[in-house]
Copies of this chain bind each other. A is one copy, B any other.
Amino acid sequence: MTAPRTAGVAGRVNGDCPVKDATTVAAGIADDATLAVSGFGSVGDPKAVPRALAAAARDGRDLALTVVSGGSVGDPLDTDLVAAGGVARRYPYQATTAARTAANERELAFADRGIAGLSDEVRFGRLVDPDVAVVEAVAVGPGWLIPSTSVGQTPAYVRAADEVVVEVNDAQPMGLSAFHDVVVRDPPPDRGPLAVSAPGERVGESAVRFDPEKLRAVVRTDRRDDPYEFRDPTATDRRIADNVLTVLERAVDRDPVIGAAPTLQFGVGSLGNALMGALSGSSLADGELRYYGEVIQDGLLDLLADGDLAVASATSLALSVDGQDRVFDAPERYAEDVVLRPSNVSNAPSLIDRFGVVAVNSAVGVDLYGHVNSTHVSGARLINGIGGSVDFNRNAHLTVVALPATAAGGDVSTVVPLASHVDHTEHDTDVVVTEHGVADLRGKPPVARAEAIIECAAPAFRPDLRAYLDRARESSGHLPHDLSTAFDWQS
C-alpha cells in the first residue's frame, strides 16, 4: 500500500491489480467514451491502449471518442487513433500532422485550451466529464501510481474519471519517481495558496493518488517515448537568441526583481535550443539561473551539468535519444535539480508571478501594436494550439515574444498590420524580438509601439508597414488602423 518516494517498490505492479492486455481493455471502452489521458510534451502518454483502439477502429469499430490529454501526446493517439477516425472531440493541444489536418478539415472537433486551468476545467466538470483515465506510469499499486516522463494533468484526471487504466511501462525507469513532486489542490472556494516557495522546492510526493476502487486495469508495456530530434540552430535562430540574450542581460542588470534570481521559461523547439546555446557561457550562466517552465529538454540538462543552471522545474522531460539515455542511466544524478510537477503547478499564474519569471515564447506573428498570434495561419488554419504560452505570457514579470521576422522562406512577413488571430493581447507583450532587433513596448502608446515593432520587421517589408501606419494615421484613433487594407498582407 505504500507509494514510495524514490524506490523500494516490490516490482512495478503492487498488490492485487487487475493486469489485462490492451486489446481487452480497448474492447471494454465504450464507442463514445470520454478519455482523459496522460502525456505532456509528447512524452509520458499511454501507448498500448490508444494503439489497440486504433486497430479496432481500422477493423471497422465505429469509435467516436472524446479525448482530453495533459498536453501534446505522441503518435499512438494523435496519429494512429486520429488517422483511424476514432476521435470525435479532442482537447487541449495537438502537435501531429494527422490531428492538425483533421482539425483543419473540421473532421475532428478540436478545442484549444490553455494549460494551467485545464486540471480544474476537467476535474470540476466544466469542460468534459471523463469516463476513463488512461495514464502511463512506472509503477502502480492500490490507489496510487507513479507517473513516467510527464506528470501533466494526471492527478486531476484520475480524480475526475470514473475508472482508471494504468499503462505500466517497463521502458521508463523506476528512477523517474525521484523527479516528481505531486500536490493536488482543493477545489475553490476554500483552496489555499500553492505552498511552493521556490522553483526547486518539493512539497508533495512522487505518487498520484486515486480511489483504488476505480482501478479497472493495468496494462504492461515496454516502449520508450518517441525521442525528440533537434536540428541545429540556423543563423536566424542564433541571431534571435543573441537578441533575447541582450534583453535578458539588460533585465538582470537593471531590474532588481530579475537580478535577484533570474528565472526563465522558454518553449521547446528551435528558439529554446538556440537560446540555451546562447545562455551557455553567457554572464547569466553563473549557477544562479533558474528555469521554471513546462518542458525540460536536453539543453537544460547540459546547463545543469555545466553548473550554469541551478534548478529546472517543469511538467515534462522531453528528450532526445541521448538525453533519455543520460537520464535513464543515472536518474539520481539529475533528480536533485530537476522537478516534475503537475501542469497546474508548473504553469500556475500565482507561482509565475511569485517567482518573477521571464517568459520567452515564440509566435506565428505579431501585429504593429503587440497583439500576438500563436496558433492560426491566416486567421483560420490551426498549427498546434496555445499551450502554456498563455499562462507564462500573462503572468510573467517580463514577457518576451521572439520570432523570425519572416516565414515561408522570406516571402511572408510575420510582422503584420493586424493579427488575424489573437492569442496574446497588447496588454501582455512587453518586448518583441526578431533577428533584426528588439522592440521594448513597455510604457509606449500604440503608435510608438508600432514604430518600434516596424524596426524589427525584415527590411524588405518595412516600407509597406510604414505606409500602412501612415495611412492608418490619416484617421483619428488611439490605435490607428485602416481596416479596409489591414488583411491585405495575409493570404
Q: Tell me whether A110 and B486 are in contact (CB under 8 A).
A: no
Q: Tell me whether B395 and A481 are in contact (CB under 8 A).
A: no
Q: Tell me whether B192 and A197 are in contact (CB under 8 A).
A: yes
A residues contacting the other copy or chain, number (CB 8 A): 87
Q: Tell me whether A445 and B110 are in contact (CB under 8 A).
A: yes
Other CB < 8 Å A-B pairs besides A187-B256, A188-B356, 7 of them? A109-B445, A110-B478, A111-B444, A127-B443, A189-B355, A190-B261, A378-B483
**So how many copies of this chain end up in the complex?**
2
| Option from B254, B427, B447, B473 in Cβ contact (under 8 Å) with A423 | B427
Q: Give min CB distance, A488 to chain B, whole Å.
A: 9
A169 to B476, CA, bound (A): 39
| Option from B422, B425, B442, B484 in Cβ contact (under 8 Å) with A126 | B442
Q: Give min CB distance, A114 to chain B, whole Å.
A: 5
Provided the pairs A423-B427, A443-B127 are in contact, do residues A483 and B379 lie with their beta carbons within 8 angstroms? yes
Instruction: State whether the Cβ of A461 lies closer than 8 Å to any Cβ in chain B.
Output: no
Instruction: List chain B residues, Cβ under 8 A from A448.
Output: 109
Instruction: List chain B residues, Cβ under 8 A from A381.
Output: 476-478
| Option from B111, B380, B420 in Cβ contact (under 8 Å) with A475 | B380
A449 to B355, CA, bound (A): 36
Instruction: List chain B residues, Cβ under 8 A from A426.
Output: 112
Q: Tell me whether A376 and B479 are in contact (CB under 8 A).
A: yes
Q: List 19 A-B contacts (CB under 8 A).
A: A106-B473, A106-B480, A109-B445, A110-B445, A111-B445, A112-B426, A125-B255, A127-B443, A188-B257, A189-B263, A190-B260, A193-B193, A193-B354, A349-B350, A379-B486, A380-B476, A380-B480, A381-B476, A390-B425
